Amino acid sequence: MVLKAEPMLISMGPHHPSTHGVFRMRLVLDGEVIIDAEPMVGYLHRGIEKLAETRTYTQVIPLTDRLDYLGSMTNNWAYVLAVEKLASIKVPERAEYLRVIMGELMRISSHLMAVGFLGNELGCTFTPLLYMFREREKIMDFFEMVCGQRLTYNYMRIGGLSHDIPEEFLPAVKKFVAEMPHYIDEYEQLLSENEIFLARTKGVGILPQELAISSSVTGPVLRASGMRWDLRKADPYSIYDRFEFDIPTGKVSDVYDRYLVRIQEMRQSVRILEQAIKQLPPGEARAKVPLLLRPPVGEAYAHIEAPKGELGFYLVSDGSIAPYRCRIRAPSFTNITALRDMLIGWKIADAVVIFGSIDIVLGEVDR
């Protein structure tokens, strides 16, 4: 008697509470074990690169907000750096320091979301998420104070920032920076030594270092696999060479290491914030730039260390008021290419956890 068995096809479809957005994954299962996984993206494509060709350089900035909508400040920064490189504009010192402060606050906020949602996918019923959202609300209040919005900031302009900070900004940020290490200790107390958390995340979803490098994975995922690569130290942009901070790396690149790398990066961001606030000089917040900028003909590529990885903008200009071509190198899109190798052999429960540990945002993946 011949027993016929066939593997089961499940579509972890666009509607799912745990894919961070509209993401579809077709899994081939043998019982609960994943044999094959095929990610399908494109459900959030809005044509940002094409839209950027018909907008002036300043009008593209609100479009870049909506790429990684959880990290708008760093998106703005990457784009503005590319334009300044193209047009050779020098940014005043105060604007550089303020950009660093905004970027690091954004990094803390994005990592809080990443770790919080990782806890959610593991099954803690929203508890670590709500604790982390308490701090994220404070950061969003600072951003609202500075530019008026909580999610899509449109704050950085070519040549600096759109407005200078109000006076109540610095005392509030100082208070936040002083109490943040205590809160990070609380998060670690809740999760880092929990036996169930360890059993679910240690040794799970290992991405070997060679595979990470050959798939162009960047960001905390690459650092957790042992490679000390951070664009803030490897190719310093803006004024990052004036601050001292460490780069946390992991040894075994499993989900637990990625979680620890993000927590340590939050601590390092707090350190950078303390130094930046202390060294903030007075001055102008924006250089004198014409209203309709016409950069010289040429091309430029600028990349920064966004919270999710290396975010790069490649701009081609033909001398007119709008870019000829704007190409966005999104970190989440390249990180997803490594997903299939990380998933094979694990179970469905692990699929969600591994996927959450890469920390993608569908706005970037689909642009």
Partner 1 sequence: MGLLAHFQKWLTENGVPHWASYVVPALAGIIVALLFLFAMIIVFIYLERRGLGRFQIRPGPNRAGPFGILQAFADFIKVLTKEDITPTAADMPVHFLAPVVAFFSAIMILAVIPIQRNAFITNLNIGILYVSAISSLGVIAIFMAGFGSCNKYSLIAAMRGVAQLISYEVPVLLAIAGVLLISGSLAMRDIVSSQNIPFILLQPLGFLIFFAGVASELNRSPFDLMEAESEIITGYHIEYSGMKFALFYLGEYGHMVVASAVMTTLYLSGWKGPVLPAALWFIIKMILVFLVFLWLRATMPRIRVDQLMSLAWKFLLPLGLLNLFITAAEVLWQDNMGWKQFPWPFVFLNLGLAAIFIIIGSKLLFKTGGGRVEV
Partner 2 sequence: MKFERYGRGMAKGMALTFKHLLRHPITTQYPEQKLTVSRRFRGYELVWYEDKCTGCATCAKSCPQGNIEIVTVEEGDHYKVLKFEVDTGRCMACGLCVEACPYQALYMGRGYERARYRRREVVLTKEDLKPSPERQPSGYANPEVEAQLPEQTLLVYRK
Give alpha helix (H) positions in 123-254: 127-147, 169-191, 195-201, 209-214, 220-224, 231-234
Q: Which of 36, 49, 93, 186 binds partner 2 (CB under 8 A)?
A: 186
Number of chain positions touching partner 1 (CB under 8 A) = 42
Contact 90, 287 (CB under 8 A): yes
Tell me if 192 contacts partner 1 by CB under 8 A.
Answer: no
The 127-166 contact track toward partner 1, x by CB under 8 A, reads x--xx--x--------------------------------
* Residue 326 Cα distances to 55, 57, 63, 80, 132, angstroms: 11, 10, 12, 12, 35
Stretch that binds partner 1, among 124-132, 135-143, 229-237, 260-268 (CB under 8 A): 124-132
Tell me if 191 contacts partner 2 by CB under 8 A.
Answer: yes
Contact 282, 93 (CB under 8 A): no
Contact 345, 34 (CB under 8 A): yes
Q: Which of 37, 108, 146, 212 binds partner 2 (CB under 8 A)?
A: 146
Q: Which amino acid is at 224?
A: A
CA distance 344 to 205: 9
CA distance 164 to 149: 15
CA distance 82 to 26: 37
Tell me if 214 contacts partner 2 by CB under 8 A.
Answer: no
What are phi and psi for residue 9, nearest 5 degrees? -105, 120
The 98-137 contact track toward partner 2, x by CB under 8 A, reads -----------------------------x---x--x--x
Stretch that binds partner 2, among 186-194, 234-242, 306-314, 345-353 (CB under 8 A): 186-194
CB atoms within 10 A of CB 319: 10
Six-digit token pair at 246? 């460490």
Stretch that binds partner 1, among 140-148, 199-207, 212-220, 235-243 (CB under 8 A): 199-207
Cα atoms in the Cβ-side hemisphere of radius 13 Å centred on 217: 29
CA distance 360 to 110: 11
The 257-296 contact track toward partner 2, x by CB under 8 A, reads ----------------------------------x-----
Q: Which of 71, 103, 116, 119 binds partner 1 (CB under 8 A)?
A: 119
What is the distance between the terminal CA atoms of the chain, rounded to a whole angstrom?
53
What is the contact surface with partner 1 in residues (CB under 8 A)?
Answer: 8, 10, 16-18, 30, 32-33, 35, 119-127, 130-131, 134, 190, 194-200, 202-204, 254, 344-352
> Contact residues for partner 2 (CB under 8 A)?
55, 58-63, 127, 131, 134, 137-138, 141-142, 144-149, 152, 154, 162-163, 166, 168, 172, 175-176, 186, 189-198, 291
